[in-house]
Structure 1
Amino acid sequence: MSGMIDKDINRIRQWTPVDEDLDGIDANVREVAVQTRKNFGFGVDYTRCEVWSDPEGVDVYADVPYLPDGNGSTAQGKAHCLDVYLPHDARLRGGCSLPVIVDIHGGGFVYGYKDLNRNFGTNLAAQGFVVFSLGYRLAPTVDFVGQLADVLQGLNWVKNHLADYPADPDAIFIAGDSAGATLAEYAISVLKSSEMANAFGFGGGTDVPVPDIDPKGAVFFSGLFDVDGLVHYEGDTSILPYLDAMGGTFFDSTVERVPADMLTARGLAASGLMPPTLLTTSSDDFLEHESLFFAGHLRRNGVVCEIYDLVPEKGLTLGHIFPVGQTWLPESLSVLQEIKRFVYGLIPPHFHTTT
């Protein structure tokens, strides 16, 4: 496997930085970061990309800058770009009728460009959505608050450019997988609460304005919802041990700013900030318990919540974020169809009345 990685490293750089964003990082931290990225998914994603493809009838606008330094040729620039995926027929018809899904990729906060989710995003668009897939900077070059700031800047761009696409400005949904779900849930809390925005240092006269977006729902895949379990972990290892190896400061500014109860899935569910939510996981997902517990907390607090916890057939596997990484599976197609049912069930039909 290491030989394959070395031989085809430039191909891997298409969906994740390897080391090109680590200039100026402490040598020991840099080594851990590179090794983590290699262990995290190079081999799996390299194999999967052989069967990734964009469905017919979907337009792709790739590497659109959402900040002035955004471009597709450097790691920093790539982080500050987004992709847009939408059905070509909807563009031809015009109007602003399609619901919007803003997708935030996962990767344990340390791995992946938005390109890692392109195959998922284009297949999602084929179901009848305008999809904005956001990039953001990765650890160890930035901490959690910095990543969330990038997401907010991407959402600002989306808000300001919705009229350029056949998108319904009143039907915006936020999606995320794995660590992207963590960023998504906190982005939602900031969008819905000035107190949370102020706690993170966003909005007002800051460099990170908070767009006027009221998410109609959330769609999470294999999410990591309980940050408290990471920031206060006292054992020798954690679910993301490399974040400690990278200096142990990734969540420090989050803890300093955000109320303690908002670091927990229980507290977020009880906050009244979460919109109707669709959760997907599987019985062989190492984060299955996170989705199960979060669903329970949401339902206990009266939040509309659906959860799909699939069990693979014997001898097969679904695993972590299977609808995102393995879109060709029949189970993944079923999830895409469920997303359409869930989202379209939360938005009213469009009527045009003449007098």
Structure 2
Amino acid sequence: MAVPTSPVGFFPVEQPTTSTQDTRSTDAVDSLRSRTSSTSTIPGGGTRRRNIDSGKSEKSSPSLCRSQSFGREIGHAACETYLITRLAFTLLRYLGVGRRWISRLLALGLYAMLLMPGFLQVLYQYLFSSQIRRSVVYGDQPRNRLDLYLPKKIDSPKPVIIFVTGGAWIIGYKGWGSLLGFQLAEREIIVTCIDYRNFPQGTISDMVDDVSRGISFVCNNIADYGGDPNRIYLMGQSAGAHISSCALLKQAVKESKGESTSWSVSQIKAYFGLSGGYNLTNLVDHFDRRGLYRSIFLSIMEGDESLHQFSPEILIEDPSAKNAVPLLPHIVLFHGTGDFSIPPDASITFVDALKRAGARAELILYDGKTHTDLFVQDALRGGKEELFDYIVDYLHAGDTEALANDAMAPPRKRLCPEPLLKLAGLVSPF
């Protein structure tokens, strides 16, 4: 039975249906760029980016500028807190009193407490590091913001990862990618973490549109931040892997039909999907048993009849997508065999479908790893780690200088004691 797309308590969201709205979004981006940066010529024919606010007048006090910037961030945080609180009450009306989701929430709280020593270090760096550009506006919809993690030294164009965080389509937030962002920035890779509307502020169509708009902004503007427009990679984790794969496939279908687009699939050199779900029809009952109730999940996905539309595994084998397949970049999926939140079969069957359709795809399974091991616990553990090293080696392939620097790079710093990491793994709700 179909679930209404706008049940009681749902906040209506604007749907970008006209070219006028796209124009407003482009104007907003152009305005942002004109306010934040300009270029000047330096000897030797190069260019130098400078902040206009800092170059307006040397009379401006640096402490005053920092105070004003901090004040703006506090104001933005207050607005977001109010919005999140309001939406949380709406979400609670959806969930009702249910043992499964309440037990998961309590387990999540305990999980976060055990990993707090590492989380606090990452939070401090997120708030005060000069290597991050927080909340860059990429569109005119709510939460159309992204964070940029920049290497300390940008003496040449750097490879770029566009990262889409997970969060069960409900609690996704760009800040969840901060640990990955800082660690990859240490290897001279620029990371952009895209924020997008969550349920109940938006449904899956809004999420896919937001992510596509964020990808467009990065593809068209990353050179201004020292990124290499010819080396852009897309990566998603969990729900973010599902949303980003939908955005990528939707874009390829548009291009195959000759429709006008603001970015091209050819600009994405590879796609990395981490612990994602790609066939929603196979996951509805599984999520229901784990506390993401069928009624809520179908509301997020805009009804039972839309599950096929937002299932990349099904879409890739649809005859209408035949001409889109050759446009897709190399696709690499990662999954832990101990993942109970989204079973590894979700990646296995998607890779099989991609190969049958003629796409370039491969799967890397990690024995015994859970849904969060690859993304959270292993990253907090520091040292060498297969997934991290694979991504770095992939992005630096062919760059002998970068590979040499990687070989001499110190091991990643441990951020959390091992006993706490093991306990967190035992109580993890994922």
Q: Which AA in structure 2 matches 1:84?
A: L
**Equivalent in 25, 38, 43 of residue 90 of structure 2:** 25
**1:51 Cα deviation after fit:** 1.2
- Alignment match, 2:279: 226
2:207 paired with 1:147? yes
Q: Which AA in structure 2 matches 1:25?
A: T
- Alignment match, 1:44: 111
- Alignment match, 1:336: 388
1:48, 1:325 within 8 Å by CA — same for their partners in 2? Answer: no
1:191, 1:212 within 8 Å by CA — same for their partners in 2? Answer: yes
RMSD, matched Cα: 3.9
2:125 paired with 1:89? no
**Equivalent in 152, 160, 174 of residue 234 of structure 2:** 174
d(CA) in 1 for partners of 2:249, 2:372: 23
Identity %: 20
**1:19 Cα deviation after fit:** 4.7
Structure 1: any 5+ residue segments left out of the alignment? 1-12, 70-75, 313-317, 351-355
d(CA) in 2 for partners of 1:196, 1:146: 22
Q: Rate the CA distance shift 1:107–1:26 in 2: closer, same or farther, 3 A.
A: closer
1:145, 1:253 within 8 Å by CA — same for their partners in 2? Answer: no
**1:246 Cα deviation after fit:** 3.1
The within-5 A match list for 1:58-73 is 59-68=131-140
Q: Which AA in structure 2 matches 1:61?
A: R
d(CA) in 1 for partners of 2:240, 2:347: 14
Q: Rate the CA distance shift 1:236–1:223 in 2: closer, same or farther, 3 A.
A: closer
1:262, 1:268 within 8 Å by CA — same for their partners in 2? Answer: no
Looking at secondary structure, tell me which structure has more helix per residue. 2
Q: Which AA in structure 1 matches 2:175?
A: D
Q: Rate the CA distance shift 1:50–1:115 in 2: closer, same or farther, 3 A.
A: same
- Alignment match, 2:335: 281
The within-5 A match list for 1:318-333 is 318-326=369-377, 327-329=379-381, 333=385
Question: Which one has the largest radius of gyration?
Answer: 2
**1:266 Cα deviation after fit:** 4.9
Classify the secondary structure of the residue corresponding to 1:190. Answer: helix
Q: Rate the CA distance shift 1:113–1:244 in 2: closer, same or farther, 3 A.
A: same
d(CA) in 2 for partners of 1:103, 1:23: 25
**Equivalent in 272, 283, 294 of residue 350 of structure 2:** 294
Q: Which AA in structure 2 matches 1:63?
A: S
- Alignment match, 1:244: 294
2:265, 2:328 within 8 Å by CA — same for their partners in 1? Answer: no
C-alpha offsets along residues 259-288 of structure 1, whole Å, 9 cap, x if unaligned? x47735154267415421222221211221
Q: Which AA in structure 2 matches 1:104?
A: V
Q: Rate the CA distance shift 1:60–1:261 in 2: closer, same or farther, 3 A.
A: closer
Aligned residue pairs, count: 306
Q: Which AA in structure 2 matches 1:65?
A: V
Structure 2: any 5+ residue segments left out of the alignment? 1-76, 402-430
- Alignment match, 1:10: none
**1:127 Cα deviation after fit:** 2.8
**Equivalent in 127, 142, 157 of residue 217 of structure 2:** 157
**1:324 Cα deviation after fit:** 1.9
d(CA) in 2 for partners of 1:44, 1:254: 33
Q: TM-score, normalised by structure 2?
A: 0.60
d(CA) in 2 for partners of 1:26, 1:177: 23
Q: Which AA in structure 1 matches 2:271?
A: A
Q: TM-score, normalised by structure 1?
A: 0.72
**1:109 Cα deviation after fit:** 0.3
d(CA) in 2 for partners of 1:58, 1:126: 13
